């Protein structure tokens, strides 16, 4: 690296030196009356010219000409930088000097996709602050110092987990002598997730569908056999069979919709939806069921537009519906189910408990803690849930022990679906419960308009952050 | 960022942070692999994890040496001193995470010889993902000097505890139902405990980040706690 400054100096001053040398020779020719200095000055001039020639040689050898296009570029072709910036795959250019110098590995160029994925805020910086996966770093090192192409699998954890394939390629040497490598990341989450979902679907479906199927084939056998002539029994069995068939259909619907949601979980939804309207729709739709059960639904909604959230309307309606439906299942006759909605809350406020002495657990916490949310709270006055069940509520087919089967039994997928939809919407889900008094589920979605004045949130420690 | 007049001082400070981040990456990989080894009953992966643990030890010693050297030679003040001390303490926590991951890997080697406990492994997997996510979040917060992210990790420790308690009960029922599974279940219990400890280390790191950025001592008793041991038995 010590060569760097003189080389630059020589290059810049090459033409100047040639001019200088010629100038000295010209002076010699003009001033022949000073013979003592002639040899001295002549020697000096030759020396200067030699240095100039050498510096020109250095420039020639070590400065490769800029990549000359073999054909002239189209006049409308944009600069390469803007093309790289627009690429959908994250691209980074990494520069490094020596293998054992950790601070030496820096990213010197990142495109928009890379900024987005790796949350990079600067144009250049230390590579380890952006990517610390040892396998990816090794692949980059191989490209930088081994000069070979290399690949690695890069798994980004977190709520919306991703699997990427990292390709590292050597890019030669930069003008300042550091080595360069290109790192391209390709998102393979879809492929991985499709495999995983198919495996899960088969495992779940085969296991859960077997129960109603067994009961169906049992009844068919009975109807063919000794109940063949029994009019009353036939009617009774057919009723049970149709309930079981409906249950199977519901299960398949839920499994399919869960698979669909899971496949798209890492893709943020488009569009805006007024949460208040979604709640109104669900209250209208579930009204008859509530009356049948003798339960009152009391929605408490804010003004229109206050709970405008970004998200997929159908999925948001599904969240509201599943939560209210759940509450209806456990609400005793004559009680009320409260559906409260509020906008402009921070994540902490949205998930804050509303009953003292309650067991409370966040089932899903959003990644970006600083957004504002609209929170939906559905409370019932049922038996409540024991604390030890809370962490497992969103598991597929998890049923609270001692829960009555029969008309109340759902598919066991409702809350799993809610959780996956909330995760896709970058929202949160919390549950709190007091045994014997009822349970409250809070689902909170990020507001579409984040510019609403933010309420002051006290820090737990009240320490001010130095800016 | 205020730059130092002595360039190599700046470099030394940055090297510390960079090495901590790299060590964090290694620790994350160890923890992630150990969870995968338990879940998929992967003996070869478990052995690889045990073999790789030494790299973390070497890195920790290296960070400590560099930090002490920096304190001795440069006498860092305020911000720089906190940065140096934080790097040292974080390296210590990460090294512990690595040890716990190694322990999980060792138990995996025993577990693969017994019959699989399928529903339990799913619970372990979910708890593992949660813990790994917290470790990732806190390291992201460290490299980005993001106090809010660090505080978010710090205030969410109760989720891991709840999972641990729930798993504890599940294991008890298994052991009562079939005494032949007791050996495997006991190992699983330690795996869960190790994961819970890794979560605690993530919380510790969040506290260190808080100290590094604000200079204020952490934060007392505001953190929600659900460690009610009497409830579990």
Contact A126 B21 (CB under 8 A): yes
Look at residue A345 in the predicted model and tell me its pLDDT: 84
Measured between beta carbons, the chain A residues lying within 8 angstroms of B216 are 461, 463
| Nearest residue to A271 (alpha-carbon basis) of A303, A304, A317, A339 | A317
Read off φ and ψ for residue B77, nearest 5 degrees: -120, 160
Q: How many CB atoms lie within 10 A of CB A235?
A: 9
Question: Where are chain B's structural domains?
Answer: 7-232
- A182: part of which helix (H) or strand (E)? strand A179-187
Q: Is B133 on the interface with A (CB under 8 A)?
A: yes
pLDDT digits (tens, 9 = 90+) for A374-432: 999 999 988 888 887 887 788 777 777 655 444 456 778 889 899 999 999 989 999 99
Please report the pLDDT score of residue A455 as a whole number.
47
Q: What are residue A112's phi and psi, to 5 degrees?
A: -60, -45
CB-based contacts of A208: which residues, under 8 Å, 6+ apart?
Answer: A251, A255, A397, A411, A412
Does the pLDDT value for residue B170 go beyond 50?
yes
One DSSP character per residue, A323-337 reads HHHHHHHHPPTT-EE
Decide if pLDDT at B195 tops 90: yes
Contact A395, A413 (CB under 8 A): no
For B7-232, the fitting CATH number among 3.40.50.1000, 1.20.58.220, 2.30.110.10, 1.10.10.350 is 1.20.58.220
Best residue in A100, A105, A128 to probe B by mutation, most B CBs within 10 Å?
Answer: A128
Closest approach of chain B CAs to the CA of A131, in angstroms? 8
Strand A336-346 versus strand A296-300 pairing type: parallel
Tell me how far apart the alpha carbons of residues A418 and A316 are, in angstroms, rounded to a whole number: 9
Rg (CA), chain A: 35
Phi, psi of B114 (to 5 degrees): -90, 175
Cβ atoms < 10 Å from Cβ of B88? 21
List the single residue in A with minimal CA-CA distance to B162.
A391
Spell out which residues of chain A touch residue B122, defining contact as CB-CB under 8 Å. 395
Tell me whether 0.85 is exceeded by the ipTM.
Answer: no
Choice between A297 and A46, residue whose per-residue pLDDT is larger:
A297
CA end-to-end distance (rounded Å), chain B: 53
pLDDT of residue A313 exceeding 70, the answer is yes
Confidence class of residue A69 from pLDDT cuts 50, 70 and 90? low
Cβ distance A460 to B132 less than 8 Å, yes or no, reads no
- A358 pLDDT more than 70: yes
User: What number of H helices and E strands is found in chain B?
Assistant: 8, 0
Q: Which helix (H) or strand (E) holds B125?
A: helix B118-144
Enumerate the residues of chain B whose CB falls inside 8 A of the CB of residue A361. Answer: 158-159, 162
Are B213 and A126 an interchain contact pair (Cβ–Cβ within 8 Å)?
no
Distance CA A307, CA B117 (A): 45
Among A6-20, A151-165, A329-343, B50-64, which stretch is predicted with the lowest mean pLDDT? A6-20
Among the partner-chain residues A103, A157, A367, the one whose CB lies closest to the CB of B11 is A103
pLDDT at residue A17, rounded to an integer: 53
CA–CA distance, A318 with A417 (Å, rounded to integer): 9
Burial environment of residue B1 by CB neighbours within 10 A (0 to 12, 13 to 18, 19 or more): exposed
CB contact under 8 A, A369 and B22: no
* pLDDT value at residue A343: 85
* CB neighbour burial string for A5-37, b if at least 16 within 10 angstroms, e if fewer: eebeebeeebeebbebbeebbeebeeeeeeeee
Query: Cα–Cα distance between B7 and A368 in angstroms, integer?
Result: 35
Within A361-433, residue ranges assigned H as helices are 414-424
Per CB-CB distance under 8 Å, the chain A contacts of B163 are 391
Three-state SS at A166: strand
Nearest to A167 by CA among A193, A134, A142: A142
**Which tens digit of pLDDT belongs to each residue from A167-187?**
999 998 888 888 899 999 998
**CA distance, residue A85 to nearest chain B CA (Å):** 22
- Chain A neighbors of B126, CB-CB under 8 A: 395
pTM score, whole prediction:
0.68
CA distance A222 to A241: 12
Beta strand A438-446 with A428-434 is: antiparallel
Residue A279 has pLDDT above 80, yes or no: yes
């Amino acid at each position: 690296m010590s060569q760097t400054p003189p080389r630059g100096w020589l290059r810049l001053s090459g033409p100047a030196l040639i001019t200088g040398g010629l100038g000295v020779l010209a002076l010699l020719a003009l001033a022949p009356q000073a013979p003592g200095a002639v040899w001295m000055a002549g020697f000096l001039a030759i020396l200067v010219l030699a240095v100039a020639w050498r510096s020109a040689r250095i420039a020639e050898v070590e400065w490769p000409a800029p990549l000359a296009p073999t054909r002239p570029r189209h006049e409308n072709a944009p600069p390469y930088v803007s093309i790289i910036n627009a690429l959908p795959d994250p691209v980074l250019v990494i520069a490094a000097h020596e293998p054992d110098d950790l601070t030496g590995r820096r990213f010197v160029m990142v495109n928009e996709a890379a900024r987005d994925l790796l949350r990079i805020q600067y144009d250049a910086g230390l590579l380890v602050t952006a990517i610390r996966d040892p396998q990816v770093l090794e692949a980059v090192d191989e490209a930088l110092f081994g000069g070979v192409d290399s690949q690695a699998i890069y798994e980004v954890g977190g709520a919306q987990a991703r699997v990427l394939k990292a390709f590292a390629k050597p890019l030669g040497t930069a003008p300042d002598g550091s080595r360069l490598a290109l790192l391209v990341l390709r998102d393979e989450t879809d492929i991985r997730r499709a495999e995983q979902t198919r495996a899960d679907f088969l495992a779940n479906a085969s296991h859960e569908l077997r129960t109603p199927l067994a009961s169906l084939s049992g009844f068919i056998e009975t109807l063919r056999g000794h109940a063949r002539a029994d009019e009353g029994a036939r009617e009774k069995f057919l009723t049970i069979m149709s309930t079981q068939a409906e249950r199977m259909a519901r299960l398949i619907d839920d499994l399919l919709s869960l698979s669909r949601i899971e496949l798209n979980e890492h893709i943020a939804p488009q569009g805006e939806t007024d949460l208040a309207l979604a709640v109104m729709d669900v209250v209208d739709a579930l009204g008859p069921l509530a009356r049948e059960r003798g339960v009152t639904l009391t929605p408490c909604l804010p003004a229109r537009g206050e709970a405008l959230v970004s998200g997929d309307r159908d999925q948001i309606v599904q969240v509201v519906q599943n939560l209210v439906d759940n509450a209806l299942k456990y609400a005793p006759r004559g009680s009320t189910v409260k559906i409260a909605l509020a906008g402009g809350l921070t994540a902490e406020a949205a998930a804050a408990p509303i009953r003292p002495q309650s067991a409370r657990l966040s089932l899903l916490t959003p990644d970006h803690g600083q957004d504002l949310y609209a929170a939906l709270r559905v409370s019932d006055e049922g038996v409540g849930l024991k604390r030890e069940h809370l962490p497992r509520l969103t598991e597929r087919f998890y049923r609270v022990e001692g829960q009555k089967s029969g008309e109340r039994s759902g598919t066991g997928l409702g809350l799993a679906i809610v959780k996956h939809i909330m995760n896709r919407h970058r929202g949160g889900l919390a549950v709190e419960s007091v045994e014997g008094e009822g349970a409250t589920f809070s689902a909170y979605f990020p507001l579409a308009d984040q510019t609403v004045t933010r309420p002051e949130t006290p820090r737990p420690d009240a320490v001010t952050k130095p800016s | 960022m205020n730059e130092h007049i002595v360039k190599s001082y700046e470099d030394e400070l940055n090297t510390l942070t960079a090495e901590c981040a790299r060590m964090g990456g290694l620790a994350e990989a160890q923890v992630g692999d150990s969870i995968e080894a338990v879940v998929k009953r992967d003996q070869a992966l478990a052995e690889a994890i045990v073999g790789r643990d030494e790299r973390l030890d070497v890195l920790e010693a290296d960070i400590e040496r560099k930090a002490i050297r920096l304190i001795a030679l440069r006498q860092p003040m305020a911000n720089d001193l906190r940065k140096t001390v934080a790097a040292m303490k974080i390296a210590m926590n990460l090294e512990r995470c690595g040890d716990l991951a190694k322990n999980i890997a060792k138990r995996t080697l025993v577990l693969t010889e017994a019959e699989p406990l399928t529903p339990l492994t799913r619970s372990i997997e979910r708890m593992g993902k949660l813990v790994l996510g917290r470790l990732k979040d806190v390291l992201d917060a460290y490299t980005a000097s993001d106090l809010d992210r660090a505080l978010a990790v710090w205030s969410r420790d109760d989720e891991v505890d709840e999972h641990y308690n729930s798993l504890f009960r599940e294991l008890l029922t298994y052991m009562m139902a079939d005494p032949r599974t007791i050996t495997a279940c006991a190992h699983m219990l330690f795996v869960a405990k190790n994961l819970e400890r890794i979560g605690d280390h993530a919380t510790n790191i969040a506290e260190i980040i808080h100290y590094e950025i604000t200079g204020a001592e952490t934060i007392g008793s505001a953190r929600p706690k659900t460690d009610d041991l009497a409830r579990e038995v």
